[in-house]
Structure formats: C-alpha cells, structure tokens
Amino acid sequence: MQFFTSDFLTGCGYMSMEERGMYITLLCYCWETQTIPKKRVPFIVQKTWEELSDELKSKFIEIDGGIVNKRIHDAFVERDEYIERQRINGAKGGRPKTQKKVSTSISISNSTTNSISNSISNSKKNIYVPSEKEFMDYSLTVIKQLKKNPEEFDFSLRAKYESWLDDNWKDGYGKPIKNWKNKINNTIPHLKANYGSTNNNKTQYSEEFKRTIIENLNT
C-alpha cells in the first residue's frame, strides 16, 4: 500500500506530535496484522484504547474486540478481490478478450461499519471517496473547531455527502471532488444549521423534505 504523505499530514492536522507518533505506530501494526486487539494497545503506545483522544480513535473502527484502520482494511479487501478475480480468470484460461479494464471499483467493508470503500476512477486519476463515517468524523471535527454545535449540522452534512455520492463524487457544478477535505472545509461556512435536531430527540424527516434539502445544497 502506498503511503500518501499529504493525506497523512491533512488527516492528523489536529493531533499533537505525541498523537501523531502513536497514530503512525498503530497504522504500521494494522498493516502487519490488519486487526489490533484492544488489550494489546497499551503494549504498543503505552496507553489503553480508552485513554486515547477522540481524534486519534476516530481513525480506527472497533470490530470484535479489536481495532482496524478502515483505509488499510479496504486495501486488503481490494487486494483479495483482485486476487480472486485473477484466480477465476486463470481457471477459465485467462482474461476474456471482451473484458475491459475496471475503471471504477467500490468495495464494501465489514457490514458493521456500514461504509462505502474508496476509489472512483475519474479521467484516469484515482479519486479517494471516504466512507460516510470518515466524512462525518472529519466534518464534525471542523464544526467543533469553528465553535459551532455539531448536532445542528449533522443532517446537512449527511445530505451533502449523499448528494456528492449520487453525482459520482462531483460537486454541484459537475466538477470531480479531488480533495474532499478541502472541499468540505470550503463548504461548511455556507451550510445552514438545523436547530430542530438533537442526539436525544432526533427529528424524523420525510423523504420529500430530504430531497428538497439535497436539491438546495446542490444549487
């Protein structure tokens, strides 16, 4: 798996140097073992999983008593799927002549994460598409940094994510979103807060209302 330095620096922009050190160490272990048991985390970074900051924990997914990094996990899933396709093609005597190279790949990670995997090919350049969880974790962190109430922007952010996803990860002007973090940073100041939503008393929205909100976000 290639190490994208710009993604790493952007992804840990709100971390202290100590947290960055723990983050890269945990990433290395995830690459070697895929899953790190929670009980082994203190032996790696000298802190329990519960003692880690929310910012650091947001980079991992909790599964069956362990933690995994979603991006690394999806890389393994994509590799395994590629190997399986090659095995099947080999059993048939090679790749069929009519088969075209796959330009768009979407892999579904563990069902408990309910997330969409990572790559959409656009103009021969791979564009990283985050899962909804990664998108929301980052966006709500930015909201907090702006001293705003995250609960009031939850629906607008999810609607924005769905609208970009439905448009093949393009913005309202039809332009491919090459750096989604920069795009959402520039979009957040223009989002309207929804004052009727809280964690303890979630408002139920009709499908017509949701469509209206998404259409407005695309204009």
The string of pLDDT tens digits covering residues 120-134 is: 444 445 788 999 999
Percent of the chain with pLDDT over 90: 18
pLDDT tier for residue 140 given thresholds of 50, 70 and 90: very high
Helical (H) or strand (E) element with 212: helix 207-218
Euclidean distance between CA atoms 137 and 142, whole angstroms: 9
Mean pLDDT of all residues in 56-72:
86
Q: Residue 3 above 80 pLDDT?
A: no
DSSP letter at 68 equals E
Euclidean distance between CA atoms 113 and 108, whole angstroms: 9
Q: What confidence score (pLDDT) does residue 114 get?
A: 46
Range in 1-5, 61-65, 107-111, 192-196 the model is least confident about = 107-111
Range in 13-22, 91-100, 135-144 the model is least confident about = 91-100
Mean pLDDT of all residues in 86-97:
74
Q: What confidence score (pLDDT) does residue 172 get?
A: 82
> Please, where are the H alpha helices in 15-153?
17-33, 41-45, 54-57, 70-91, 132-145
Euclidean distance between CA atoms 116 and 88, whole angstroms: 25
How much is the mean pLDDT over the chain?
A: 77
SS (H, E, C) 43-59: HHHCCCHHHCCHHHHCC
Euclidean distance between CA atoms 69 and 31, whole angstroms: 9
Q: What confidence score (pLDDT) does residue 129 get?
A: 92
* The two structure tokens encoding residue 43: 């032996």
Domains of the chain by range and CATH? 1-117 (1.10.10), 132-219 (no CATH)
Q: What confidence score (pLDDT) does residue 181 get?
A: 92
